[in-house]
Amino acid sequence: MTPTTETTVGIGGAAESTDMVLNIGPQHPSTHGVLRLRLVLDGERIVRAEPVIGYMHRGAEKLFEARDYRQIIVLANRHDWLSAFSNELGVVLAVERMLGMEVPGRAVWMRTLLAELNRVLNHLMFLGSYPLELGGITPVFYAFREREVLQNVMEEISGGRMHYMFNRVGGLKEDLPAGWTARARAAVADVRSRMDVFDDLVLGNEIFRGRTRGVGVLTAETVHAYGVSGPIARASGVDFDLRRDEPYLAYGDLQDTLKVVTRSEGDCLARFEVLLEQTHNALDLADACLDRLAELPPGPVNQRLPKVLKAPEGHTYAWTENPLGINGYYLVSKGEKTPYRLKLRSASYNNIQALTELLPGTLVADMVAILGSMFFVVGDIDK
């Protein structure tokens, strides 16, 4: 009889004391981008977590140095592909500040309106995709229906469905088409009338609440330590919103309508609630902008620019409250037609780093729920 050798691997107590390294990705989780998580597990519990980024790096910041001030808008447009209009906005605000340029009042209100419509489009994507990541497929169909209504009016003015390229240094590409404001108002009312789907279908679902309540609690201290911003920070009780605290565009005149939504729990459920309530408020802000535009007389929506646009030598920093959080744009000019340096401070980059504090101690089964509730776009991380 031939002797045999038996090897026992990972049984009983031996398995409980053995750490396992698990790679989640690199993959494309629910269209938000290619991300890899390196987890160290003790059984079913996460001991350490490291987000590994860079799989989508396109070198946008370096490309800015080889494009003039008109061309860099198309590059900045794409890092958070769900917030294209807001991305453009930060760049043109920085360049206009360098030039000391005043933008026509009509353009200021139009920019504010389009920024809030873009905010709703961004949030609707996550309001639909987050339940999908937890196994609920129905909400994403409703989310895309509402997105389609708003994308129709955005496409009408710009010709683009996601990358609008409607901002210009000094204002906007052109005035709104005849009758557009009425169609936009109808679209906003249409979306608002059906937003209770997310209150009833998602927040009213006991399985959704069971998977998210008390899961992935992010403390205010961690928010400050990692520079987390946007809906995620406000869900942890950090009451900060640039639109209120350092107003730009027309937000200074919208303080009666603007509502900064906060929660104190800091868990996955709180983050979803903040996102949903913020979507309602963005629709209200869009209506307020449409009301003001109706009162304004016809006028220019941009400034005449020289054929070759050069920013004076110096540097400036502009920041905006993008849908996912604070975006900063540090512009350095040597007096040429291209930036010497344009550094992006993107919301998702800081927000995703907090996973190193958020995931340890949680179960692998809760990892997807926590990851999805961080509402990130990987292009916004890698730039």
pLDDT at position 232 is 96
pLDDT at position 160 is 86
Q: Structure tokens of 43?
A: 């059984």
Tell me the pLDDT tens digit for each residue of 237-248. 999 999 999 999
Confidence tier at 382 by pLDDT (50, 70, 90): confident
Question: Which of 64, 69, 87, 29 has its CA nearest to residue 380?
Answer: 87
Output phi, psi for 319, to 5 deg: -135, 150
The amino acid that residue 292 corresponds to is R
Confidence tier at 87 by pLDDT (50, 70, 90): very high
- In the sheet that holds 341-345, the strands lie side by side as 314-322, 325-333, 341-345
Q: Is the pLDDT of residue 274 over 90?
A: yes
Q: What's the average model confidence in pLDDT over 109-127? A: 96
- Alpha helix segments (H runs only) across 100-256: 105-133, 138-158, 180-193, 196-197, 206-212, 220-226, 231-234, 242-245
Confidence tier at 43 by pLDDT (50, 70, 90): confident
Confidence tier at 6 by pLDDT (50, 70, 90): very low
Task: Specify whether the CB–CB gap between 309 and 335 falls below 8 A.
Answer: no
Q: Structure tokens of 135?
A: 């196994």
Q: Between 287 and 199, whose confidence is greater?
A: 287
Q: Is the pLDDT of residue 24 over 90?
A: no
Strand segments, DSSP code E, in 216-369 are 314-322, 325-333, 341-345
144 by DSSP, 3-state: which? helix
Q: What's the average model confidence in pLDDT over 115-130? A: 95
pLDDT at position 131 is 92
pLDDT at position 5 is 56
SS in 3 state form for 79-134? Answer: CCCCCHHHHHHHHHHHHHHHHCCCCCHHHHHHHHHHHHHHHHHHHHHHHHHHHHHC
pLDDT at position 14 is 47
21 has which bridge partners? 40
Q: Is the pLDDT of residue 29 over 70?
A: no
pLDDT above 70: percentage of residues in the chain: 94
